[in-house]
């Protein structure tokens, strides 16, 4: 495809409490098939989407967190987490189930400014 745009998905919501995280991930997977330049950003409660060890049996809901691990297979490798969001939740990069790039707020803001399409759900 000749039109390659920079797509950024901004995830600011925790999983399970609402469906946004799951349905957002479904868009990400489709976008990969369009050969676009895809970045995923995790801010605020969105960081919780990546927490290791999610066990959803007790709430009878599909555990979709393993899908984040599959993103690499779709050539989606740009995952960014804001340091301040992680710190505020007592989490470190070791708590996350995928490799991410940790950015400061300022770096995150600059990255946003460079995008063509910013999708938030």
What is the contact surface with another protein in residues (CB under 8 A)? 1, 3, 5, 7, 10, 12-13, 19-20, 23, 26-27, 30-31, 33-34, 36, 43-45, 82, 84-85, 105-106, 108-110, 112-113, 115-121
- Per DSSP, the residues of 2-41 read ----EEEEEE-S-TTTSSHHHHHHHHHHHHHTTT-EEEEE
| Whether 9 contacts 41, CB under 8 Å | yes
Tell me whether residue 52 or residue 75 sits nearer to another protein (CB atom).
75
Tell me whether residue 52 or residue 108 sits nearer to another protein (CB atom).
108
- Name the minimum Å distance from CB 78 to another protein: 16
- Name the minimum Å distance from CB 82 to another protein: 7
What is the phi/psi pair of residue 112, to 5°? -60, -45
- Name the minimum Å distance from CB 32 to another protein: 9
What is the CB neighbour count within 10 angstroms for residue 14? 17
């Amino acid at each position: 495809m000749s039109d390659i745009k920079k797509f950024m998905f901004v995830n600011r919501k925790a999983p399970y409490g609402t469906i946004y995280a799951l349905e957002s991930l479904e868009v990400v997977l489709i976008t990969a098939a369009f050969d676009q330049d895809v970045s995923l950003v995790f801010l605020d409660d969105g960081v919780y989407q990546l927490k290791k060890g999610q066990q959803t049996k007790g709430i009878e809901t599909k555990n979709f967190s393993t899908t984040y691990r599959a993103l690499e297979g779709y050539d989606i490798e740009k995952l960014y987490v804001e340091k301040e969001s992680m710190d505020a939740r007592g989490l470190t990069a070791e708590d996350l189930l995928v490799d991410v790039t940790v950015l400061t707020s300022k770096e995150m803001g600059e990255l946003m400014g460079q995008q063509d399409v910013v999708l938030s759900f």
